[in-house]
């Protein structure tokens, strides 16, 4: 890919390519935009098919974090890191220590946390080398694993979306197709099961499927079949770009609401959902619970305060649906507009002259 042209098109600030031969670390850190504050975004470890695929994923995810943090009202910019490798086979301590040193070298421009393929234990190792990591063990006064909080936010957001799509926020008796039952989705299924929803699940990991079948009486289907099952709600909770030209014709759900980042392959797929009357919960709004939770660490972690903000995702989504209805625009566009307006308004504030972060006359 033409990296610099892509970065120019979407106005990225920085991409750092990290290599450490001894530990096998091959990582890409992307900082998209720091207008609102340091870039906070998770660390994904995935067995990418190619370096290009990893770079593209890091770039897309980093930009998504700018929008997520802005829409969530956080004073944080957006960034992301990916490590190329199989999280089940290729992890070692030195790899995360090496990455921690690269992150420390950015001097606070980027702060990391968990994403697909990484755990609290990995963050604890990174923490040996840098302060710029969140989601570490609660023993350090940190917030721990963000996944259950992300799941709670998705659950609340799903209820708000159901209110808009079906006229009631009850999920009792609704059939919900869940794609990927990993950390976030398992916890989401607990909430949905408790409320009386019928679950259909899939995963490329058979053990994850079995766990959900046993715990929630979920029906299991093959990964290729999940998109076309008869259901009320499709919940993408695996990887990105699942709403695309191939999957859209098969989709039977009335709404799409899940934890996955970058669910739309392209904006045009959000337009098609809107034209078909399928309510789409903008991914970076509904899945912001985790980042809201880890961001609270920067203030001195307070669980109640963080959860109160996560509860607010219900109303944030209702406001987005209101704008979408009023202005007859797709929901993803309504969300983008809110995020972009916040960033633009702060750009102006940031342009006020300060010398080394201080008032110009502060040496007197």
Ligand X SMILES: NC(=O)c1ccc[n+]([C@@H]2O[C@H](COP(=O)([O-])OP(=O)(O)OC[C@H]3O[C@@H](n4cnc5c(N)ncnc54)[C@H](O)[C@@H]3O)[C@@H](O)[C@H]2O)c1
By CB under 6 A, name the binding residues for ligand X: 114-117, 146-147, 150, 179-180, 182-185, 202-205, 208, 223, 237-239, 259-261, 287, 290
Let me know how long the chain is. Answer: 364
Q: Which residues bind ligand LEU (CB under 6 A)?
A: 40-42, 68, 113-115, 146, 261, 287, 290-291, 294
Shorter beta-carbon distance to ligand X: residue 89 or 358:
89
- 11 CB burial (10 A radius; 0-12, 13-18, 19+): exposed
Closest CA to 287 of 163, 184, 168: 184
Q: Is the Cβ of residue 87 or residue 228 nearer to ligand LEU in the bound state?
A: 87
Residue 280 CA to residue 257 CA, distance in Å, equals: 6
The site partner of 180 among ligand LEU, ligand X, none (C-beta below 5 to 8 Å per kind) is ligand X
Q: How far is the CB of 111 from ligand LEU (least distance, A)?
A: 8
Nearest approach, Cβ of residue 216 and ligand X (Å): 15
Residue number, 216 or 314, with CB nearest to ligand LEU = 314
DSSP three-state, residue 121:
helix
Question: CB under 5 to 8 A by kind: which of ligand X, ligand LEU, none does 202 bind?
Answer: ligand X
- Find which of ligand LEU, ligand X, none residue 324 binds, CB within 5 to 8 Å per kind: none
Task: Provide the minimum distance between the beta carbon of 359 and ligand X in the complex, in angstroms, as a whole number.
Answer: 38
H-helix segments, the chain:
3-9, 51-71, 93-105, 120-127, 147-166, 183-195, 206-216, 267-275, 283-286, 289-295, 303-311, 313-327, 331-350
With the CA atoms of 231, 187, 60 and 332 taken in that order, what torsion angle do they form, in degrees rounded to the nearest 10? 50
Q: Which does 78 bind (CB under 5 to 8 A by kind): ligand LEU, ligand X, none?
A: none
Q: Nearest-CB residue to ligand LEU? A: 42
Confirm whether 347 is a catalytic residue.
no
Work out how close the CB of 37 gets to ligand LEU at its nearest, in angstroms, rounded to a whole number: 13
Please say which residue, 36 or 260, places its beta carbon nearer to ligand X: 260
Q: For helices 93-105 and 120-127, give the axis angle rounded to 10 degrees.
A: 60
Q: Which of 80, 159, 174, 254 is catalytic?
A: 80
The binder of 203, among ligand LEU, ligand X, none, by C-beta within 5 to 8 A per type, is ligand X
Residue closest to 261 by CA, chosen among 111, 63, 84: 63
- Whether residue 267 contacts residue 244, with contact meaning beta carbons closer than 8 Å, is answered with no
State the chain's maximal CA–CA distance in angstroms. Answer: 71
Cα 305 from Cα 287, distance rounded (Å): 18
- Beta carbon of residue 327, minimum distance to ligand X (angstroms, whole number): 27
Residues forming the active site: 80
């Amino acid at each position: 890919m033409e990296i610099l042209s892509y970065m120019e098109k979407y106005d990225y600030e920085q991409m750092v390519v990290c290599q450490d031969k001894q530990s096998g670390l091959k990582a890409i850190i992307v900082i998209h935009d720091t207008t609102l504050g340091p870039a906070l975004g998770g660390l994904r470890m995935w067995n990418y098919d190619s370096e290009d695929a990893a770079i593209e994923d890091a770039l897309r995810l980093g930009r998504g974090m700018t929008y997520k943090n802005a829409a969530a009202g956080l004073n944080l910019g957006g960034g992301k890191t990916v490590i190329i490798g199989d999280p089940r086979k290729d992890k070692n301590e030195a790899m995360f220590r090496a990455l921690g040193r690269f992150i420390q070298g950015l001097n606070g421009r980027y702060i990391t946390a968990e994403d697909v393929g990484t755990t609290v234990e990995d963050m604890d190792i990174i923490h040996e080398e840098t302060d710029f990591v969140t989601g570490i063990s609660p023993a350090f006064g940190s917030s721990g694993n963000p996944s259950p909080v992300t799941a709670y936010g998705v659950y609340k957001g799903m209820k708000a979306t159901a209110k808009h799509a079906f006229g009631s926020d009850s999920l009792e008796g609704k059939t919900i197709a869940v794609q990927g039952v990993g950390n976030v989705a398992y916890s989401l299924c607990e909430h949905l099961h408790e409320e009386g929803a019928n679950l259909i699940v899939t995963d490329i990991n058979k053990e994850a499927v079995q766990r959900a079948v046993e715990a929630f009486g979920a029906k299991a289907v093959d990964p290729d079949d999940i998109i076309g099952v008869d259901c009320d709600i499709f919940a993408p909770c695996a990887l990105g770009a699942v709403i695309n030209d191939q999957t859209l014709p098969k989709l039977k759900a009335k709404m799409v609401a899940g934890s996955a980042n970058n669910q739309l392959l392209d904006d045009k797929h959000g337009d098609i959902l809107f034209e078909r009357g399928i309510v789409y919960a903008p991914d970076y709004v509904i899945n912001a619970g985790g980042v809201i939770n880890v961001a609270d660490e920067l203030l001195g972690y307070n669980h109640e305060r963080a959860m109160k903000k996560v509860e607010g995702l219900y109303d944030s989504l209702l406001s987005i649906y209101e704008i979408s209805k009023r202005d007859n625009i797709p929901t993803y566009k309504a969300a983008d507009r809110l995020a972009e307006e916040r960033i633009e308004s702060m750009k102006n504030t940031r342009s006020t002259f300060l010398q080394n972060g201080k008032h110009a006359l502060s040496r007197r």
